[in-house]
Structure 1
């Protein structure tokens, strides 16, 4: 499985970096992890001209590069940072550009990719941010995977065992669902069919 992490933090050595390290440590070498730090890309604000209903977005920035990296992933872990009870502005711009305009004329190319969410913030508002990103995941017709409790990391804690456990269980669920959606090939070399073809009556 190829997992891409979208990191909203502007701090290369903060809590988000610890979360990325935890992901790599937990998954080991069995999963290829690609972490995208939004701070390294130019992401302009959506101009809301609604022209993307019929044609590719005309805003010239790095969102196309980001989407290309996401397109190569089997699963995506969204890792926003909470600012003022919402996502930080760079992550918000990313959600608007990717979730609203950029992917719409392309018929949602992230459709059916697995997605999970972990939120980094001080103390209050984690679940509001989680819900916002979850709606964006559903807008792009992705498959949202969770473990019961959302991984919400509190920045004032040196260690957050509960959040770490929730993240580990979420990662395990991502791997589990990836295996279910991609069963091993049979002896014939052809993948096993999960759904039977629909037979229509002639008439």
Structure 2
């Protein structure tokens, strides 16, 4: 109903792209969950390592198909979880100076196989946590920023990106500055979620227009 107030708790979904259970990435995402729950919101976690996610296949029809990817795996269920959330945090370690392969496979399949048709994540709040030893964490962060913006999500700033560094062989949250950035990001995500809800409650409309949902469709219209 137009102008109706949503009374349920905001939902933030954390997606971990780490192969290592209990490692730095999981610890950072758990901490984000504590902060979110402390604000009275719901936090759910998807560990990609626990799901069957097929790499993109050589079918070659991704740019022409008009229906979601048909590869039989857990991607459809994960995408539905993303659609139900108010905000999404991608948490991933640096591997080989780049994005860990689990997250790379995931964002490829999600984007090309499911999200590009109508951009269902538009106007959802996005956050990013990158864990690493010392190098390339900013590059990985930038790649995920591009992914969030491609999906028309709202990326909240925290002063500095949530880059959590640990040079110890043992997992641990010892990066004071990184944790400060993570805390600011988590709180600002909740703040933005509540602001978006208040706007929709008052106006009955989303804060951003939803008519531009698929750049391929718009491009084909302009060509024709």
Superposition TM-score tier, normalisation by shorter sequence: 0.7 to 0.9
What value does the CA root-mean-square deviation take over the aligned residues?
1.9
Deviation string, structure 1 residues 66-93 (Cα, Å, up to 9, x no partner): 1011111000001011111111111100
Which residue of structure 2 lines up, in the alignment, with residue 71 of structure 1?
83
Q: How many residues align?
A: 189
Residues 136 and 176 of structure 1, relative CA distance in 2, 3 Å threshold: same
1:40-59 equivalences under 5 Å are 40-47=50-57, 49-51=60-62, 53=64, 54-59=66-71
Which residue of structure 2 lines up, in the alignment, with residue 13 of structure 1?
22
Residues 95 and 184 of structure 1, relative CA distance in 2, 3 Å threshold: closer
> Secondary structure of the equivalent of 1:24?
helix
The TM-score normalised by the length of structure 1 is: 0.86
Deviation string, structure 1 residues 167-198 (Cα, Å, up to 9, x no partner): 0000111111112111189xxxxx21287xxx
2:36, 2:46 → 1: CA distance? 17
Which residue of structure 2 lines up, in the alignment, with residue 102 of structure 1?
114
Larger RCO (CA within 8 A; separation ≥ 6): 2
Which residue of structure 1 lines up, in the alignment, with residue 41 of structure 2?
31
2:158, 2:111 → 1: CA distance? 24
Deviation at residue 20 of structure 1 after TM alignment: 2.2
Q: Does 1:127 align with 2:138?
A: yes
Residues 124 and 110 of structure 1, relative CA distance in 2, 3 Å threshold: same
1:172-187 equivalences under 5 Å are 172-183=187-198
Q: Which runs of 5+ in 1 are unaligned?
A: 186-190, 196-203
The TM-score normalised by the length of structure 2 is: 0.79
Instruction: Name whichever of 94-103 and 128-137 sits farther off.
Output: 94-103
8 Å contact kept, 1:52–1:102: no
Deviation at residue 52 of structure 1 after TM alignment: 5.5
Which residue of structure 2 lines up, in the alignment, with residue 22 of structure 1?
31
Deviation at residue 17 of structure 1 after TM alignment: 2.1
Residues 34 and 52 of structure 1, relative CA distance in 2, 3 Å threshold: farther
Q: Higher helix fraction: Structure 1 or Structure 2? A: 2
Deviation at residue 128 of structure 1 after TM alignment: 0.4
Q: Which runs of 5+ in 2 are unaligned?
A: 1-9, 206-224
Deviation at residue 28 of structure 1 after TM alignment: 3.1
